[in-house]
């Protein structure tokens, strides 16, 4: 299996603060995906990273992939209540897809 | 487009009962999959299909059956429900599976087994 460890498990931040979520793989990554899940709903695709050193941004969310460390980070700038939810990293291996355990984010207004 | 739909949204079963969770997509995606989500464990792959007539096991397949007779539908069958199968179940689809894992998820089915 592709084991993915996320940290922290949960996070509470004040609105407007920056935050970072990490995802570390026990095996070589051939692509790393970030998804967001609003509480009680299905997952929504955020970003895909495939090359070492790649960095992508969408609105105030930036994700980076460091293949040497088998790690990815998700950074949110100036957090808003709309950023609240569960963030999950995921990676494929063969025809299967594996998720990390998720990071619960709450943003206090 | 409705995307990925799942029924029912909620279900309570007694131990030993069987049931089928329905999943359908209208995006003509070849790859479909079922996950279960338990507290603190993220999502774990139960079964997946790379196209009509082709299915395979994921990480946690025991106690579940699937079939894929059409591109659109991918039902998940619980053969004899157990309390350990209490979970939230998500169906997902993607256009090319191994080439791009941008998956589209249904809203989930919350299952309780008593």
pLDDT band at B19 (very low <50, low <70, confident <90, very high): very high
Interface of B with A (CB under 8 A): 4, 31, 33, 35, 40-45, 48, 50, 56, 58-59, 90, 92, 97-98, 100-108
Please name the residue that has the structure tokens 């939810």: A85
A3 Cα to chain B: minimum distance (Å) = 11
- Report whether A98 contacts A2 (CB < 8 A): yes
A4: chain B residues, CB-CB within 8 Å:
42
pLDDT of residue A27: 83
Cβ-based contacts of B101 with chain A (< 8 Å): 31, 33, 48, 90, 92, 97
Question: With 90 as the cut, is the pLDDT of residue A79 above it?
Answer: yes
pLDDT digits over B48-93, tens only?
999 999 999 999 999 999 999 999 999 999 999 999 999 999 999 9
Element (H, E) at B24: strand B19-25
Interface size between A and B, measured as CB pairs under 8 A: 61
d(CA B59, CA B63): 12
* Least Cα separation, residue B102 to chain A (angstroms): 6
């Amino acid at each position: 299996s592709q084991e993915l460890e996320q940290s922290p498990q949960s996070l509470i931040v004040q609105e407007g603060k920056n935050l970072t979520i990490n995802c570390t793989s026990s095996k070589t990554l051939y692509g790393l995906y970030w998804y967001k899940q609003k509480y009680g709903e299905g997952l929504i695709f955020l970003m895909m990273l495939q090359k070492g050193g790649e960095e992508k941004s969408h609105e105030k969310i930036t994700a980076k992939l460091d293949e040497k460390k088998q790690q990815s980070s998700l950074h949110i700038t100036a957090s808003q209540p709309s950023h609240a939810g569960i963030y999950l990293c995921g990676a494929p291996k063969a025809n299967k897809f594996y998720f990390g355990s998720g990071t619960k984010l709450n943003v206090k207004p | 487009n409705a995307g990925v739909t799942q029924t029912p949204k909620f279900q309570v079963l007694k131990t030993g009962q069987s049931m089928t969770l329905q999943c359908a997509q209208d995006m003509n995606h070849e790859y479909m999959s079922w996950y279960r989500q338990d507290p603190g464990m993220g999502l774990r792959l139960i079964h997946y299909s790379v196209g009509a007539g082709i299915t395979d096991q994921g990480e946690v397949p025991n106690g579940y059956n699937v079939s894929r007779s059409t591109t659109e539908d991918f039902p998940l069958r619980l053969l004899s429900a157990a309390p350990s199968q209490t979970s939230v179940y998500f169906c997902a689809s993607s256009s090319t599976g191994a080439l791009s894992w941008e998956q589209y998820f249904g809203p989930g089915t919350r299952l309780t087994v008593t």
